[in-house]
Structure 1
Amino acid sequence: MLNYNKTLPNQLTNWAFSETAFKPLLLGKCESIMSLGNGYMGLRSVTEEPYIGETRNLFVNGTFNKFDENEVTELPNAADVTRFDMLVDGRRFSLETGKVEEYSRTLDLRHAELIRSFVWENEAGKRVRFSFRRFVSLDNTHVIGMKMEVTPLNEGIQFSVGSGINAQLTNTGSQHFHEGEKRIFDKKYMQLEQTTTESKVHFIIHASHRLSLNGESLEIAPKMDIHRRKVALSYTLDIPAGETFTFEKMSTVHTSRDLAFEGQELSVMKEAALAQAKEADRQGYDALFELHKQAWANVWDRYHIEIDSEQEFDKLALRFATYHLVVMTPAHDRRMAIGAKGLSGEGYKGHSFWDTEIFILPFYIYSRPEIARSLLEYRYLGLEGARRKAQENGFKGAMYPWEQAWPTDGEVTPVWGEVDVVTGLQTKIWSGFIEQHITSDVAYAVWHYYKATGDQDFMERYGYEILFDTATFWASRLEWDNAKGRYHINEVIGPDEYKEHVDNNAFTNYMAHFNMELAIQYYNELQSERPEILERLEESLKLQESYTAWTSKINQIYLPQPNEDNIVPQDDTYLTLEQIDLTKYKNQEKVGSLFREYSLDQVNKLQVSKQADIMMLFFLLENKFTPEVKKANYDYYEPKTLHDSSLSLSTHSILAGDFGDSDLAYQLFRKATEIDLGPNMHSSDAGIHSASIGGIWECVVMGFAGLRMLDGKLHLNPSLPQAWKQLKFPIYWQGVHLNVHLTHSDVLITSSSDEPLALTIKGNDVLFHKELHLPL
């Protein structure tokens, strides 16, 4: 059903993919993977005409609302502007009736435009060509543009189209908005106001239409409708055979969360929004699309990565990943973050996880450091909620939420999840209570950003405070085991979420230890070099007391060591659990098939993992383990890992490359690229997989190119797949722009700096000025 070889005008290849047939039972996949956005808002790519099973979503970043006291906050599904209700000769138009030929729905990644076209024949034998185009502007982030062209091919038709702003939508049943004011100005400009029920965020949405026949403007008096939560205009005309009716719709979206309207009266926002809506209508689709195209041209210039591969799909997959990284990221506002489904669907309610810090942030650290900083400032703003969570759980410092929404909200993880196949009850979601490694993941990301960018201003304003208060949490979280004379971390969930309530999850313990190491290191550095910073933080953080706790406990934290077979136990009991034949689950077509036969409690007692756990530890803290230990653990844990999390495959791919198995690394990379973009037509129904999208970039740059930050130094250890002849990519390192060109035989790096640059290539330290060319 998906065509990956779509050629765009000017013979551009590997810039687009298409849906080649309309299947009403398979709507969700393309709605998600073809979704549009600009970081401010995301629009799910549902068809214009409605179908049972569709999911119309429009999300504006940061506008979280709590529907009910028994539910958690989520991004509310704003009013829909994409639906067209169409009649052909008085009968409702639908692709479920008549005949459909030449069907194609394409996402043009280069220009971020959705294009759908087909020839439809009704029961009377009339053939009509339809063409739809749509974009969410990257130039003006408040604008959505739509354009429809209708051409009868053999006989004229009477055509009616109704379109407006429809707020009769929910988040899977939860209505997040009060009924708001609706109005039509000058029989043209529709306005709908809606306000969230709990957070009181105001939305102002406008829409207008432009009509033409064969390029000549049409003035048709519309039928105006205002109903409950809905405002619309409809038009009827006769279209002769061979002539083309063009219907444009320009919509604008503004909210009181917009920085431009912070602290302003609602009337000010409404006036400004209406003026912008009128200007968008005046300019029209084509003019606004040209500005949008230029904004995307700048994106592709900035993130330009070239792969010379025998497999053309690899190029498309990387561009697909880059596209979604851009459309999901709120580069405009540090109060907002990236959801686990981006802005492409209702999955995970728009909440942010450790996905951002570990799988997405590296893309921005090395490509757009200013955006990486903004995403970390979001975590700084989240210290309020993190401190509250620590206090509520009897700890000190900052305990980051497993799921975070508006930064000050604190923990927003739902309590109840899917059905338990044994009891028939809902399964309790323990992550918000005991999956605590997120706290050290944030600290790790702060350190990663700082060492790669040298951004001292960030550390002084935000970074040190995050590192110190997260370390204070861990110091208070440690539990003394009197019998063994050491500190444990009990009752947790590690990255492998198929193991709940475990003691001494290795990833959690090592990362907590590393978090405290960083706090001690930077405390000592500041004490000798910048004591005024410590003085500023002392009153709020009680740093002297915290420092005593860090230093007195850190050397007594239990860090699981390799056994006689070099295996690091994932937790205290994993190696003693029952082993079963996992072959059919490893070969599953849909993730989570294990739970058709086992409950989570039963899975908890088996040697089976959801995702990389020990492997994540080796990736983040690779210098703490020998190659022999890493390889032994890879061989032990990989057969037991079902990769039921989209986070897993990219990590295993990178580590396979580290072990010199480039064929396996490439196979796992390809599997990672197919999580969303692949042929499984239900893989992305609830939205794209943000972490996997970031992981694709990591596989290429941190895996095959071997780019790493180790001990504050830049390392490059290339191992290209056999299918690739060369790889080119840009990065930023310590404020210097580098262009890296790799082949199987050599490396060429150019630098924008006038100063010499040091790095390590395949274990050898190199110092170069402006250009470096070395054999591999």
Structure 2
Amino acid sequence: MKNYIKADEWNIIEEGFDPHLNKISESLFSIGNGRIGQRANFEEAYTGETLQGNYVAGVYYPDKTRVGWWKNGYPEYFAKVLNATNWIGIDIDIDGEKLDLFKCEVLEFKRVLNMKEGTLSRTFTARLSSGKVVKVDAIRFCSIADDELAALHYSISALNFEGIITVTSFIDGDIKNQDANYDEKFWNEVAQHQENDTDYLTLQTKKTEFDVCTASRTTVLFNGVAQSSQAVLGDKYLARTTVIPVKQGETIHIYKIVTNLSSLNYDKSDLLRLAKVKIETASTKGFDELLKDHAAAWAAKWEESDIIVEGDIAAQQAIRFNIFQLNQTYTGKDARLNIGPKGFTGEKYGGSTYWDTEAYCIPFYLSTAPEEVAKNLLVYRYKHLDKAIENAEKLGFKNGAALYPMVTMNGEECHNEWEITFEEIHRNGAIAFAIFNYIRYTGDENYLAQYGLEVLIGIARFWKQRVNWSEDKQKYVMLGVTGPNEYENNINNNWYTNKLAAWCLKYTIEAADMVKRLDPEKYKTIQKKTKLVEAKEFGDWKTVADQMYYPYHEKEGVFLQQDGFMDKEQILVKDLPAEERPLNQKWSWDRILRSGFIKQADVLQGMYFFEDEYDLETLRKNFSFYESRTVHESSLSPCVHSILAAKLSDEEKAYEFYLRTARLDLDDYNNDTEDGLHITSMAGTWMSIVEGFAGMRVCNGQLCFNPFLPKAWDSFSFSIGFRGVQLKVKISSKQIWIINNSVQTLEISIFNRLHTVLPGEKAITYHEQLV
């Protein structure tokens, strides 16, 4: 665990430069706007260890899977969001000596991610080998007000010398993904163009043939006067070099305004023209005005989604960091985009879509953004339904059965591990549950007729074909699966997967009845389109759901994770030597698979989804059993434990697991932050507070709260939107305020007592349970 980030309510602060921590900081200080994003690489040259990363959402390459064998249905490629043109580059040469913090003596260094305004700034003082000392101040942002723009301001001062400073501002497309399977470069150059202090570089991805035009206008000011520059051309490289004689104490200011336009959104033939218009308009506005617009957009984001913690600066910093990264990763403006587990902060997992979105991210966006944002995440899957049916057909399923991919960019499966690709089929259930969750929260039942029912029918057909009847058990069983606990592969009757399948079969019938009632004509259209044989299929689905087999252990009184789980040696985590963790770095895979240790608890994930079906005693037994065996080596694990512990009134464990997920990246708990941040698990941090500590649920169409106040906090508050109403919730010792900031009246429940909250008024409740 690292502990070098300074505690601050609104800022992530690094003071002093340690090259060994640089890749971690590059992840932590990443910025983005939902359309473009980048790691916190330095503008000037750096020859130390680094992962240069600039990414454009939706632009990907199908990198050929690297395996030595093949199976029917196995994906031919692993799709990757591409490391795109590096636009921040500013080489600094001082009397023939290049500025490089890996080779300089760094006298002072400070890096700040200002989460309130969405900016990354850096200031340092460095002594070159010649003895010359320079001071640099830099600030940059990816505009959330206009997600095709980014800008930076870089200044360099001569502190103890007179000499020649040469500034080379460049854009460089000659880059490659660190995770390229065969060290291949994925871009071809289409065109270069230079005019009016602006460089235009258009690249095209191999195979997928996305075009991206990057335009960069550089302005160099010295003593308030714009300096002339010399244009430079190279392979996938454009630059402008400015030579300036400086005296001691003088400062050079460099401004870069950049746009990235892709053929995902525009006709290829029009990219250059549109880039010229965009860069001209942005340059006329200028850096300062662009920054004001960007800060104002962030202020609106924070108004919707901020959580305020009083009395614990580290906790306040952590939750804001998680919310900040979620908001700059996905904005919901484009239903073709989704949320990669690492967002724009690294290349692990390829930037592709996983089940994390539906299981963890949907609740955050439902409560903190306009309804359309979460809806677009579901529409993304609807648009991939045909591909999901194709994926299922490749594995032998028929009649419109749909298997959504574990990993995807365009709806095709592109995961390259067989036990995930073929067996981790619970992702289908998470997508179905997200549809249910969206409707439960928004009340938007029309979504089923418009999009949802077709998806549910495809998934239900898959479940029906995936089970088989066991004569021995006289039940339907599901063989050869992998649950969320990936420390178990190719097992039979995973409780969580069986539970999701049975629920989904029943819910699809309910959803069909709902559409039939709300819009009979639309139902007939769907029936015809999907070739739904209602009586036969509904009857089959109900039979399977009613007769599904669930492993259970009578002696322990718990649902078994899968058949044979109790055959494993039952060693608890508390008896596992600390030096043997994390298991995935210290043990062989064979040893992990034979152990009873759990990466994340399948059964508890299911009980979180379907908590209304289980009484507290059942939940308590299962929680105690599985928590003691779970090593939490999935970033998605602690938040579910935190929420369930809160429901069980185990406030100490609820807070323990919250801290584990909240500062996972800031403190580099798992020694993997350098690969990128755990973006999707960050939504779990928000859930731990709102669903855990505040106990927020939707009960019969109403918001319900059963909160407690962590002992380390004086109070906490948050804003949520619910069915057109904006609420501010504050919880302190013995008191809850819920303020209605909308024009609609809303009924809410606090500790099972109904309150009617009028527009502009608040409900106040006192209760000894908050102590």
Compute the TM-score of the two structures, normalised by the length of structure 1: 0.92
How far is 1:588 from its partner?
6.0
Partner of 1:230: 237
Match of 1:492, SS? coil
Q: Is the aligned partner of 1:63 residue 2:59?
A: yes
- Farther off after superposition, 611-620 or 710-719: 710-719
Compared with structure 1, are the counterparts of its residues 584 and 595 closer, same or farther at alpha carbon in structure 2 (3 Å cutoff)? farther
Query: 1:180, 1:195 within 8 Å by CA — same for their partners in 2?
Result: yes
Alpha-carbon distance in structure 2 between the residues aligned to 1:115 and 1:645: 32
Alpha-carbon distance in structure 2 between the residues aligned to 1:675 and 1:71: 31
Query: 2:358, 2:431 within 8 Å by CA — same for their partners in 1?
Result: yes
Alpha-carbon distance in structure 2 between the residues aligned to 1:515 and 1:562: 24
Which aligned pairs between 1:555-634 and structure 2 lie closer than 5 A? 555-561=546-552, 563-580=554-571, 582-583=573-574, 587=578, 592-599=582-589, 601-634=590-623
Query: 1:162, 1:235 within 8 Å by CA — same for their partners in 2?
Result: yes
Task: Please tell me the residue identity of whatever aligns with 2:199.
Answer: M
Partner of 1:740: 729
Q: Deviations 1:285-344 (Å, cap 9, x if unpaired)?
A: 222111111111111122232222x22111111111111011110422001100011111
How far is 1:281 from its partner?
3.0
- Farther off after superposition, 741-750 or 101-110: 741-750
- Which residue of 695, 698, 707 corresponds with 2:687? 698
Task: Please tell me the residue identity of whatever aligns with 2:381.
Answer: R
- Which residue of 656, 660, 673 corresponds with 2:645? 656
Match of 1:254, SS? strand
Q: Is the aligned partner of 1:434 residue 2:442?
A: no
Compared with structure 1, are the counterparts of its residues 455 and 24 closer, same or farther at alpha carbon in structure 2 (3 Å cutoff)? same
Partner of 1:420: none
- Which residue of 105, 111, 119 corresponds with 1:113? 119
Q: Deviations 1:486-545 (Å, cap 9, x if unpaired)?
A: 101111011100000111111111111111121122223344553323211111223214
- Which residue of 621, 630, 637 corresponds with 2:626? 637
Alpha-carbon distance in structure 1 between the residues aligned to 2:557 and 2:574: 25
Partner of 1:316: 317
Partner of 1:45: 40
Compared with structure 1, are the counterparts of its residues 242 and 610 closer, same or farther at alpha carbon in structure 2 (3 Å cutoff)? same
How far is 1:594 from its partner?
4.3
Partner of 2:208: 199
How far is 1:662 from its partner?
0.9
Query: 2:89, 2:169 within 8 Å by CA — same for their partners in 1?
Result: yes
Q: Is the aligned partner of 1:190 residue 2:199?
A: yes
- Farther off after superposition, 116-125 or 313-322: 116-125
Task: Please tell me the residue identity of whatever aligns with 1:87.
Answer: D
Query: 1:2, 1:19 within 8 Å by CA — same for their partners in 2?
Result: no
Which aligned pairs between 1:294-693 and structure 2 lie closer than 5 A? 294-308=296-310, 310-368=311-369, 369-396=371-398, 397-406=401-410, 409-415=411-417, 429-543=418-532, 544=534, 545-561=536-552, 563-580=554-571, 582-583=573-574, 587=578, 592-599=582-589, 601-678=590-667, 682-693=671-682
Match of 2:673, SS? coil
Partner of 2:29: 34
Match of 2:154, SS? strand
- Which residue of 11, 15, 21 corresponds with 2:16? 21
Match of 1:27, SS? helix
Partner of 2:170: 164
Query: 2:308, 2:716 within 8 Å by CA — same for their partners in 1?
Result: yes
Match of 1:604, SS? helix
How far is 1:387 from its partner?
1.0
Alpha-carbon distance in structure 1 between the residues aligned to 2:669 and 2:129: 33
Match of 2:135, SS? strand
Query: 1:506, 1:570 within 8 Å by CA — same for their partners in 2?
Result: yes
How far is 1:563 from its partner?
2.2
Alpha-carbon distance in structure 1 between the residues aligned to 2:741 and 2:16: 48
Compared with structure 1, are the counterparts of its residues 652 and 277 closer, same or farther at alpha carbon in structure 2 (3 Å cutoff)? same
Query: 1:652, 1:668 within 8 Å by CA — same for their partners in 2?
Result: yes
Q: Deviations 1:63-108 (Å, cap 9, x if unpaired)?
A: 1221447532211111111222221121111123342122111111
Which aligned pairs between 1:747-762 and structure 2 lie closer than 5 A? 747-752=736-741, 757-762=746-751
Task: Please tell me the residue identity of whatever aligns with 2:261.
Answer: H
Match of 1:340, SS? coil
**Identity of paired residues, percent?**
27
Partner of 2:68: none
How far is 1:174 from its partner?
3.0
Task: Please tell me the residue identity of whatever aligns with 2:650.
Answer: D
Partner of 2:263: 256
Query: 1:330, 1:336 within 8 Å by CA — same for their partners in 2?
Result: no
Alpha-carbon distance in structure 1 between the residues aligned to 2:474 and 2:755: 45
Alpha-carbon distance in structure 2 between the residues aligned to 1:577 and 1:449: 39
Alpha-carbon distance in structure 1 between the residues aligned to 2:90 and 2:129: 21
Alpha-carbon distance in structure 2 between the residues aligned to 1:571 and 1:18: 45
Task: Please tell me the residue identity of whatever aligns with 2:209.
Answer: K
- Which residue of 225, 241, 250 corresponds with 1:217? 225
Compared with structure 1, are the counterparts of its residues 38 and 487 closer, same or farther at alpha carbon in structure 2 (3 Å cutoff)? same
- Give the RMSD, CA atoms, in angstroms: 2.1
Match of 1:45, SS? coil
Compared with structure 1, are the counterparts of its residues 282 and 757 closer, same or farther at alpha carbon in structure 2 (3 Å cutoff)? closer
Match of 1:140, SS? coil
Q: Deviations 1:106-162 (Å, cap 9, x if unpaired)?
A: 111111111111111223332211111111111121112111111112222321121
Task: Please tell me the residue identity of whatever aligns with 2:550.
Answer: L
Compared with structure 1, are the counterparts of its residues 207 and 588 closer, same or farther at alpha carbon in structure 2 (3 Å cutoff)? farther
Alpha-carbon distance in structure 1 between the residues aligned to 2:172 and 2:351: 21
Compared with structure 1, are the counterparts of its residues 47 and 23 closer, same or farther at alpha carbon in structure 2 (3 Å cutoff)? same
Match of 1:641, SS? coil
- Farther off after superposition, 243-252 or 120-129: 120-129
Query: 1:65, 1:75 within 8 Å by CA — same for their partners in 2?
Result: yes
Task: Please tell me the residue identity of whatever aligns with 1:144.
Answer: A
Match of 1:317, SS? helix
Alpha-carbon distance in structure 1 between the residues aligned to 2:637 and 2:579: 15
Query: 2:487, 2:593 within 8 Å by CA — same for their partners in 1?
Result: yes
How far is 1:355 from its partner?
0.9
Alpha-carbon distance in structure 1 between the residues aligned to 2:328 and 2:163: 39
Q: Deviations 1:534-570 (Å, cap 9, x if unpaired)?
A: 2111112232143232123221111334523222100
Query: 1:464, 1:522 within 8 Å by CA — same for their partners in 2?
Result: yes
Compared with structure 1, are the counterparts of its residues 175 and 132 closer, same or farther at alpha carbon in structure 2 (3 Å cutoff)? same
How far is 1:680 from its partner?
5.2
Match of 1:74, SS? strand
Partner of 2:69: none
- Farther off after superposition, 60-69 or 141-150: 60-69
Compared with structure 1, are the counterparts of its residues 571 and 26 closer, same or farther at alpha carbon in structure 2 (3 Å cutoff)? same
- Farther off after superposition, 692-701 or 68-77: 68-77
Query: 1:2, 1:17 within 8 Å by CA — same for their partners in 2?
Result: no
Compared with structure 1, are the counterparts of its residues 632 and 466 closer, same or farther at alpha carbon in structure 2 (3 Å cutoff)? same
Partner of 1:726: 715
Task: Please tell me the residue identity of whatever aligns with 1:112.
Answer: G
How far is 1:575 from its partner?
1.7
Alpha-carbon distance in structure 2 between the residues aligned to 1:575 and 1:766: 47
Query: 1:37, 1:328 within 8 Å by CA — same for their partners in 2?
Result: yes
For structure 1, the 5+ residue unaligned runs are: 7-12, 416-428
Alpha-carbon distance in structure 2 between the residues aligned to 1:14 and 1:234: 40
How far is 1:386 from its partner?
1.1
Between the two proteins, the alignment pairs up a number of residues equal to 744
Alpha-carbon distance in structure 1 between the residues aligned to 2:517 and 2:150: 54
Partner of 1:425: none
